Amino acid sequence: MALTYRCLIIDDESPAHKALISHISKFDELEHSGSAFNGMEAIKLLNENQYDIIFLDINMPVISGVELMELQPNRPLTIVTTAYSDFALSAYQNDAIDYLLKPISPDKFAKAIEKAKTYFSGNSLKKESQTNSKVLSYRLNGQNIDMPLCDILYIESLGNYMKLYSTKLHLPHIIYGSLSSITSEIDNTKFLQVHRSYIVNAEKIVAVTSKALTMCNGEIIPVGRKYQILLNNLPIR
């Protein structure tokens, strides 16, 4: 059975939504699964639902497309759709798979979808593993370890290394890699990057202020200024 890719459209203009919905409808493997008309709506939907591809505008009020990419590094595969050519470098630096200029032709759209399908089929980020993965896999002291995602409290960046804090560990595991390198392996509906050095399990947060989070083990995690807007979508106060 062929895979179906759930698509989220993020754009502040209704005509752009209609155009993208029309393009999506021509592909059996694509499903229009959500629409957001600003960055706040988009973050809420991304935190509450599972998507495979997002079509992201750049010039939006409150949160621009580039800012959203920076705030959501573990977001779904991203195809930028914009009337502005100036932000292509920023988009690709934030791992966009393609950059489409409006008005988007059917041919350009089709090529972008082929890139997305190739990405899913040619990497470890196939849809099945994205949907079904329940563990974070890594090596420690020469051993392969599968850490259940539900046990992870938060992950702290240490340059080329990370500290992995878990409810089942007395001391954190220090493993090689960067925060950006593991975002594809964790559930972006449950994990949030709240600081350039921290990704947290949202289900383990017990208290929130404008500048910090308190985790269920009592640890205080700082919140970076540009990430504070994410706190609006947390149910905890």
Structural domains in the chain, sorted by start:
5-130 (3.40.50.2300), 136-233 (2.40.50.1020)
207-224 pLDDT, tens digit per residue, is 988 789 999 999 999 999
Residue 128 is predicted with a pLDDT of: 44
Please name the amino acid found at residue 196. R
Provide the CA 196 distance to its chain's centre, in angstroms.
14
Count other C-beta atoms under 10 Å from residue 86's C-beta.
9
Residue 138 is predicted with a pLDDT of: 85
- Give every residue of the chain whose pLDDT is below 70, as ranges: 1-2, 122-133, 184, 187-189, 232-237
Q: Which tokens in the block code for residue 152?
A: 């992870």
Q: How far apart are CA 37 and CA 12, in angstroms?
A: 4
Q: How far apart are CA 33 and CA 119, in angstroms?
A: 20
E strand map for 66-225:
77-82, 98-101, 135-140, 143-148, 152-158, 161-166, 173-176, 191-195, 198-201, 205-208, 212-215, 220-222
Residue 36 is predicted with a pLDDT of: 97
Helix (H) or strand (E) holding 25: helix 14-25
